[in-house]
Amino acid sequence: MTKLRYERPIISKINAGVPDKFGMKTSVETLNQIDTVPVKDILEQYGSPVFVVSEPTIRKTYEEATSAFTSRYPKVQFAWSYKTNYIDAVCRVFKKLGSWAEVVSGFEYQKALNNGVPGNEIIFNGPDKSDEDLKLAIQNLSLIHIDHFDELYTILKLAETSYKRPKVAIRVNMNTGIYPQWDRFGFNYENGEAWQALNRLMYSEKVDVVGLHTHIGTYITTPNAYAVAISKLAELATSLKKKFNHAIQYIDIGGGFASKNTLKGAYLPGKDTCPTFDAYADAITGALMSANFAPNELPTLIIESGRALIDDAGYLLGTVLANKRLADGRRSTILDIGVNNLFTSFWYEHEVLPVETTTQQTEDTTLYGPLCMNIDVVRAAVQFPLLQKGDQVAIRRVGAYNMTQWMQFITFRPNVIMIDEEHNTHIIRKAETNATFEAQEVIPDYLKS
């Protein structure tokens, strides 16, 4: 006689008021393959946990994003935001797709050069550019986006002794109706500081003012804020034209597009509220078209979107280490994925899915990471099926910021692999080992014996 399929016995309290999932026949979603590659094979081959980057997803997302803009505006250039994910293989995929590079430090600048990005296709942003960084950027004709007056004067000084004229833009901050208003980067629009900075640069006659840049914030879900930003930058461009008869070559609207992840505290899930690329493109290009640019002087639109282009392409796969009951009877499941690797779990309610499940029944569960630290919580409360030790899980939409902001804490950072267009897998960053750390540390002689 064949036996019936076993399922763990469960009793759940029915709370008055709160709907019980039992009656609803909701099915538990699983994620057992990525680009046709079985998740369990990936874990077997590359260990657990492991980050997976899907090149097909990058390409598909990039195509969606670029066509949303190019179908509406003739001159569009994307620049890959290195800080979002600067693993070289990822950067090179974006370069192949036609992206320039957007960097915010000497370290990232060097990475872009090493990845073969031509100097004049590197945008150098951020408040931290050393004199050496600036010299190199001027030499390479990179686009230097000035953040503050100290940097502005440094560039003017360097320009005096440089053979090449620096290509510069200023970063502008402004009120676009978005809270919080990011006023710590760049020059303020409303109080006239931005216009003052442009005047200083134009009167110097030592630099080429090639563009205007802004970055209004992060996780912006109201596309219209970008339209406000464009109209303010266009206002500055018009003033430059009027006063100096100078036409800028580009407007860089920065990034900040939301991804489909759900922010903590948000009532509706991100995949319902995240605007489409079309919605962003509509607002941005609409504002550009209605600004006062002569048809032969339309500026190139530069977009530095990071999160929205890569988040969907990243997965983090892991394994259940243990289950336990908390003192109040709630279930908790301990995963080998913690906040050390999944830094974004501090602000996202990440979607954690079982790789396979034999049950459709879920229980209110806390998902903990493996660290011996109280803050190591992946999800504080989630309806989750009962998994056993050794069962596998997959976390969606982790492509942005995790592979740059992760921490080496208590244990090693894991392998990162990429799935290519032919669905082959490649290690693109090796897991750390004890040797990684031994190579960095130095023991003074007196402690050696």
Partner 1 sequence: MNKPKYTIAITGLNNTDNPGPGVPVIRALRSAKSFDVRIIGLVYENLEPGIYMENVADKVYQIPYPSVGSEALLNRIEYVNSIENIDFLIPNFDAELFTFITSQTRLESLNIKSFLPTKQQFEEREKEKLVEFGEKYNIKVPKSKSLTSVNDVSKLRDDFDYPVLVKGKFYDAYIAYNSEQVIGHFNKISSKWGLPVIIQEFIKGTEVNVIALGDGRGNTIAAVPMRKQYITDKGKAWGGITLGDETMLDITHKLIKNTKWRGGMELELIKNNEGDYYLIEINPRIPAWVYLAVEAGQNIPEALIQLANGEDVAPFTKYDIGKMFVRYSYDLIADISQFEKLSITGEL
Partner 2 sequence: MKLKNNIAISETGFVFDPNSGDSYSLNSIGKEILELIKSGKSKSDISFHILNTYDADEFTFERNYDDFIDMLKHHKLLENE
List binders of partner 2 among 387-406 (CB under 8 A). 388
Residue 7 binds what, of partner 2, partner 1, none (CB under 5 to 8 Å, by partner type)?
Answer: partner 2
Interface with partner 2, residue 18, by CB under 8 A: no
Is 26 a residue that touches partner 2 (CB under 8 A)? no
181 binds, among partner 1, partner 2, none (CB under 5 to 8 A by kind): partner 1
Q: How far is the CB of 321 from partner 2 (least distance, A)?
A: 15
CA 25 to CA 360: how far, in whole Å?
A: 8
- Helix residue spans in 174-245 (DSSP H): 193-204, 224-244
Rounded to 10 degrees, the C-alpha dihedral 351/352/353/359 comes to -110
User: Which of 7, 44, 150, 272 is in the footprint of partner 2 by CB under 8 A?
Assistant: 7
448 binds partner 2 (CB under 8 A): no
Site string for partner 2, 349-388 (x = CB under 8 A): ----------x-x--------------------------x
Q: Which does residue 67 bind out of partner 1, partner 2, none, counting CB within 5 to 8 angstroms by kind?
A: none
User: Which CB atom, from 261 or from 366, has the smaller least distance to partner 2?
Assistant: 366
Told to check if 10 binds partner 2 by CB under 8 A, we report: yes
* Residue 268 binding partner 2, by CB under 8 A: no
A 10 A CB-CB count for 242 gives 10
Which of 306, 354 has the CB closer to partner 1? 354
For 292-424, strand residue ranges (E) read 300-303, 314-325, 331-335, 348-349, 352-354, 362-368, 377-385, 392-395, 416-419
Report the partner that residue 444 touches, choosing among partner 2, partner 1, none (CB closer than 5 to 8 A by kind).
Answer: none
Kindly list the residues in this chain that would bind partner 1 in the complex (CB under 8 A). Answer: 14, 16-20, 22-26, 177, 179-181, 222, 265, 267-269, 271-273
3-class SS of residue 55: helix
Q: Do the beta carbons of residue 365 and residue 393 sit within 8 Å?
A: no
Q: Which helix (H) or strand (E) holds 278?
A: helix 277-289
Helices (H), 39-192: 39-46, 55-70, 88-96, 106-114, 131-139, 149-161
What residues have CB less than 8 Å from 89, skipping those under 6 apart? 53, 418, 426, 428, 429
Out of partner 1, partner 2, none, which partner does residue 180 contact, by CB within 5 to 8 A per kind? partner 1
Count of residues in the chain:
449
How far is residue 342 CA from its own chain's centroid?
13
Q: Which is nearer to partner 1, 156 or 279 (CB)?
A: 279
The yes or no reply on residue 4 touching partner 2 (CB under 8 A) is: yes
What does the binding site for partner 2 look like in residue numbers (CB under 8 A)?
3-14, 20, 22, 325, 329, 359, 361, 388
